[in-house]
Amino acid sequence: MKRRNRLVFLGVLALGALAGLGAYTQQQKPLDPFEEAMRQRQMYLETFGVLPGDLFVEEGKELFFRKGPSGKTLEECDFGKGKGVLEGVYAILPKYFSDSKRVEDLETRVYTCMQTVQGYKPAEIKRDEVRAITTYIASFSSKAKIQVVPKHPAELAMYNLGRELWYTRAGARDMSCAICHDQYAGQRVRLSPVRSPKQGLGNEWPAYRFEEDRLYTMEDRINFCYESIAIPKPEFYSDVHIALTVYMLAEATKAGHSFEELPFFTR
């Protein structure tokens, strides 16, 4: 689908979402947000025959096969299971890559390969493009079992950093990830249910959020969390995102969780 069609389409969806949201905050009893998301998802499917997330997958696919300044496409990038393999790679990331000598999540890996394989300069890489390519690649791990098991020393170090970040209380609201997502898992902030890593936190991204009319990757979602607790969001592709993702998904792995249908559709 062309970009312009997509914009029109998303505009219509946003209107629908707004109406839905209005209806659901006006009610006497708050609806279960997940039930509401499923209702909205069904409505979009019946009205348009396609989900918003799928449009990002399509866009990502085009960008994946686009030649960079070096003349290469992202088919030449190793995303964790060898060049050109996309099936199930999202489920094993973040992991250590010997070429970049760094533990990378999928978004960072895309960012790295666009530079080292495709020859783009960092300033030429648009965040929206990385977001779409990430969504395309993640769609090959829809409903896959999460398999993040730190083994390499750099992965273990990243897990430990992630755990430290998880418990760090800072900012004008004295918050940390743990204080809500461990101690109060199962409760709500306003209407939003809060889950712990052991309950599978992190298994739904990338996802289209109908309330925001935007696609969120894991890094986007981590930034959203930091902003909502009065801590300035960390810069994309940083060790902060990667460490937290290793920690959360390693814990979700231990508890035997799988990813949702990716890209997911959520509130």
Partner 1 sequence: MTKKASILLVSVVILGLGLTQVSPFRARFEAALHAGGHEFAKVMLSQDKGQALCSQYRDKLPPDLIPTFLAEQKALIKYPANGKLMGDWKNGEKVFTDPKRGNCYACHAGVASEVAHGTMGPSLTNYGQRGTSEAVVRYTYEKIFNAWAFVPCSLMYRGGVHGLFTPEETADLVAFLLDPESPINRR
Active site residues: 225
Using the minimum distance from each CB to partner 1, give the nearer residue, 72 or 198. 198
Q: Which of 2, 4, 29, 101 binds partner 1 (CB under 8 A)?
A: 29
Rg of the chain on CA atoms, in Å:
19
Q: Which of residues 153-192 bind partner 1 (CB under 8 A)?
A: 157, 160-161, 164-165, 167-176, 178-180, 183-184, 187-191
Q: Does 5 bind partner 1 (CB under 8 A)?
A: no
Residues in contact with 176: Cβ distance below 8 Å, sequence separation at least 6, in sequence order = 166, 167, 168, 169, 170
From the list 142, 124, 6, 9, the residue with the least C-alpha distance to 66 is 124
Using the minimum distance from each CB to partner 1, give the nearer residue, 14 or 194. 194
Using the minimum distance from each CB to partner 1, give the nearer residue, 8 or 189. 189
Residue 171 Cβ, how far from partner 1 at the closest point, in Å?
A: 5
Burial of 95 (0-12, 13-18, 19+ CB in 10 A): buried
CB 176 within 8 A of CB 244: no
Helix (H) / strand (E) element for 122: namely none
221 is in an annotated binding site: yes
CB 234 within 8 A of CB 241: yes
From the list 163, 141, 159, the residue with the least C-alpha distance to 258 is 141
Annotated binding site: 77, 113, 177, 180-181, 221, 225
Annotated binding site for substrate: 221
Give the binding site for partner 1 (CB under 8 A).
Answer: 25, 27-30, 157, 160-161, 164-165, 167-176, 178-180, 183-184, 187-191, 194, 226, 231-235, 238-240, 243
